[in-house]
Amino acid sequence: MPDIAPTGTPAELLKLIRWNDQGLVAVIAQDRGTGDVLMFAWANAEAVTSTLATRKATYFSRSRGRLWVKGETSGFIQQILEVRIDCDGDCLLYVVEAPGAACHQLRRSCFSHRVEADGSVHTDKPVIT
């Protein structure tokens, strides 16, 4: 895919994003303090717009088919410190401040499973609350 060509113009983000055939873009949430990759999810245009306006990380839940403000039920809101986009426009990075569990399993990160070279998978991150 060709690279995006940002011009610094207001509201250009939604035009630069390479939406998939479901109208979604991949999103990575990363904790600024620790650098931990917290979760991987998807956003639609409304979620991206809401994220920029509210500074609360907002996603599109494919299973529930609706907008999803992370922490709306758990209380573990992800405060947006920075939003970034990659060279070909198919992924956003939400850099956040997010105390507590980012994963619904009440673990710090959704990436709680380590894969060994033999293809076995081991859960090595604790439940924190």
Residues that bind its own copies (CB under 8 A): 1, 3-4, 6-14, 16, 26, 28, 30, 34-37, 39-40, 49, 52-53, 55, 63, 82-88, 90-93, 103-105, 107, 110-115, 117-123
d(CA 49, CA 93): 14
Both tokens of 58, joined, read 């907002």
CB of 68 to its own copies, least distance (A): 14
Based on CB atoms, which residue is closest to its own copies, 28 or 67? 28
Based on CB atoms, which residue is closest to its own copies, 48 or 77? 48
Coil vs helix vs strand at 84: strand
CB of 72 to its own copies, least distance (A): 18
Based on CB atoms, which residue is closest to its own copies, 52 or 67? 52
Question: How does 57-94 read in b/e, with b if 16+ C-beta sit within 10 Å?
Answer: bbbbeeeeeeebbbbeeeebbbebeebebeeebebbbb
